[in-house]
Amino acid sequence: MQITVMQNVLQANEKKASEIRELLKQKKIFMVNLISSPGSGKTTLLEKSLPILKEKYRVAVIEGDVETDRDAKRLDGYGVPIALITTSGACHLESVSIEKAFSALDLDALDLIFVENVGNLVCPAEFDIGENVKVAILSTPEGDDKPMKYPLLFREASLVILNKTDLLEHVNFNSDNFYSDLKNLKGNLEVIETSCKNGLGIDEWIEWLQNKIENL
């Protein structure tokens, strides 16, 4: 019974996600689904990226949070439209949430949408929200073993951002093990190492995005 309902939920989600993907294609909008644990740096990465990207693209952010508007407030003032989805306890965004957020955005005036998913390395990976790419963010203090322990996200992702590299010397993170595990999981997965503190890798991340957007 529970399994059947879950299958129905996933099927309904897939259907809506396909509609969203089709709409984004028509509107020539690139949509990025940012997924990570709480505190890996999704919002901070956006704070570093928005000032650069908005010079070239018309950007919006869909901000998913279990509770509070704290992340949305942090991004307020960057001069891009922000649609906040508060899930009231739910552990991930679904495509129907994105459809609702779209009603608060002018899609004809956008080239790029970031979706900051709920902080969770498990559930958001299961739900297609119609995005062009999933980007997994892992921060070095979380440990090199996370791709193998939470493999679905890393299999689903088009890019891994290894964030907080400025902390590498202070934490137990074995880069060799990390890259070796990722290769075993998904051989061709791109990784960009970043630090939002010292700026490392931000330009590479922006270039990666630009390349994707230009090749839409």
Contacts of residue 8, defined as CB under 8 A and 6 or more positions apart, other chains included, come to none
Each residue 82-121 as x (binds its own copies by CB under 8 A) or -, in order, gives -------x-x--------------------------xxxx
* Least Å from the CB of residue 56 to its own copies: 28
Binding segment (CB under 8 A) for its own copies, from list 14-22, 99-107, 145-153, 208-216: 145-153
Write out the E strands in the chain.
30-36, 59-65, 82-86, 112-116, 133-139, 159-163, 190-193
Beta-bridge partner residues of 84: 63
Q: Is 15 in the site for its own copies (CB under 8 A)?
A: no
Scanning residues 31 to 50, which ones bind its own copies (CB under 8 A)? Answer: 37-39
With CB under 8 A as the contact rule, the residue among 7, 9, 15, 216 that binds its own copies is 9
Nearer to its own copies, 52 or 185 (CB): 185
* Least Å from the CB of residue 207 to its own copies: 26
Nearer to its own copies, 49 or 195 (CB): 195
Amino acid sitting at position 69: D
* Least Å from the CB of residue 65 to its own copies: 6
* Least Å from the CB of residue 152 to its own copies: 7
With CB under 8 A as the contact rule, the residue among 113, 146, 178, 209 that binds its own copies is 146
Let me know: does 75 contact 58? Beta carbons within 8 Å.
no
Nearer to its own copies, 112 or 125 (CB): 125
User: Measured between alpha carbons, how far is 92 from 117 in angstroms, rounded to an integer?
Assistant: 7
Let me know: does 50 contact 71? Beta carbons within 8 Å.
no
CA count, 13 A, side-chain hemisphere, 49:
27
Amino acid sitting at position 49: S
Let me know: does 5 contact 117? Beta carbons within 8 Å.
no
Number of residues binding to its own copies, judged by CB under 8 A: 39
User: Measured between alpha carbons, how far is 152 from 109 in angstroms, rounded to an integer?
Assistant: 33
Encoded tokens for 27: 């509107």
User: Measured between alpha carbons, how far is 169 from 140 in angstroms, rounded to an integer?
Assistant: 10
Contact positions vs its own copies (CB under 8 A): 1-2, 5, 8-9, 37-39, 65-68, 70-71, 89, 91, 118-123, 126, 139, 141-143, 145-146, 148-152, 164, 166-167, 170-171
